[in-house]
Homo-oligomer: A and B are copies of this chain.
Amino acid sequence: MAVTMHDVAQRAGVSIKTVSNVVNGYPYIRAATKERVEAAIEELGYRVNMSARNLRTRRTGLITLAVPELSLPYFAELADAVISAADAAGWTVLIEQTSASRERETEVLSGRRRHLTDGLIFSPLALGPDDIGLFTVDFPLVILGERVFGAPADHVTMNNVAAAKAATLHLASLGRRRIAVIGAHEGEQVGSAALRTEGYREGLAEAGLPFDPALVGEAGLWHRSTGAETMSRMLDDGVEIDAVFALNDALALGALHALHAHRIDVPGQVALIGFDDVDDARYSVPALSSVDPGRDQIAHTAVELLLERIGATGDPAPFRRVVPDSRIVGRESTGEDGEVVGVQQGGTEQVAVDMTWA
């Protein structure tokens, strides 16, 4: 049987109200009474019923991070960075995986579980611009990613177009002329795939290279397996390439495996660059060049914006959109040695929220 507040009161010889006052840190209690109650709590192993307590204090000390998929290294490492940043501020993070399902993403926003924590950092992958109404919520929210712009919430995003352009231009600067892109989503207008493919096209244009649809490799899911399949298909189709820009590192590592299986030397015959700069990139064979989108800064900024929102009193501050600096890190897969070969500057702006959506 769980020990109740009543048991504690009886043991300490005080009223339940007094026990409640001690448990909730009410200041005007005689030291001797407080000690007696605390001794009784200790002796009986009483645990404060946090549900009841939260109903009064309305603060949990917890925040939620909702991400699509923890088995994608980018999100696992993002979770790790968010936990560190929150921990440094004395907060604990509960993580939810949405598996990129509309239903779960909607549930994360619905408020059904919102009483568990004081705020939400949310990286949606299934919801998009048409669902922006769902993002009008009555709890502190920070949105990550490239699916939803213009929602009434703080937003931390990436320098996608500029970074993808820089990655493409970097491959061109190495003398590569047949630069494939892997991970494109044909017809999709929003999200990372659309933005990074746009950057790829801008890079080609600036380098004076023609856009060739044969060089565009579709891959719906951005996993190692799909990267390997897409790369294999292009190689089996005899598409001539001397470089690959993969839209994330998982795709790049899969592509690397397929290039190896086809006995194509990287970077001798084909140079390869990914996006995300996950830990694996440093240890693949050969080590993978990548775009570092500023993951630690994303995590820190998201936590900072959320805690500011949670602690806010008075008029709400305007919503902000923050874009961290990104960097091109050149490793063996582009014939380099781990140096930063380019930086794309980010910045912060106030978000003009179009409330007609809501």
Chain A residues near B (Cβ < 8 Å): 2, 47-52, 54-55, 62, 69-71, 73, 76-77, 79-80, 83, 87, 92-97, 99, 111-113, 115-116, 138, 223-225, 228, 253-254, 256-257, 260, 279-280, 282-287
Q: Contacting A257 at CB < 8 Å: which of B116, B224, B285? A: B285
B283 touches A224 (CB 8 A): yes
Q: Contacting A80 at CB < 8 Å: which of B47, B70, B228, B253? A: B70
Q: Contacting A71 at CB < 8 Å: which of B50, B69, B138, B279? A: B279
Q: Give chain B nearest CB distance to A36 CB in angstroms.
A: 23
- Residues in chain B near residue A112, CB distance under 8 A: 47-48, 50
Most buried by B among A83, A92, A97, A225: A97
The distance in angstroms between the C-alpha atoms of A161 and B284, with both chains bound, is 29
Q: Contacting A284 at CB < 8 Å: which of B80, B95, B113, B257? A: B257
The distance in angstroms between the C-alpha atoms of A94 and B97, with both chains bound, is 8
Q: Give chain B nearest CB distance to A105 CB in angstroms.
A: 13
Q: Contacting A94 at CB < 8 Å: which of B2, B51, B96? A: B96
Closest to A111 in B: B47
- Residues in chain B near residue A113, CB distance under 8 A: 50, 62, 92
26 CB-based A-B contacts, threshold 8 Å: A2-B138, A49-B55, A50-B112, A51-B51, A51-B52, A51-B54, A51-B115, A62-B113, A70-B70, A71-B73, A71-B80, A71-B279, A73-B73, A80-B97, A93-B96, A95-B96, A116-B116, A224-B283, A225-B279, A228-B283, A256-B283, A260-B285, A260-B286, A280-B280, A284-B285, A285-B285
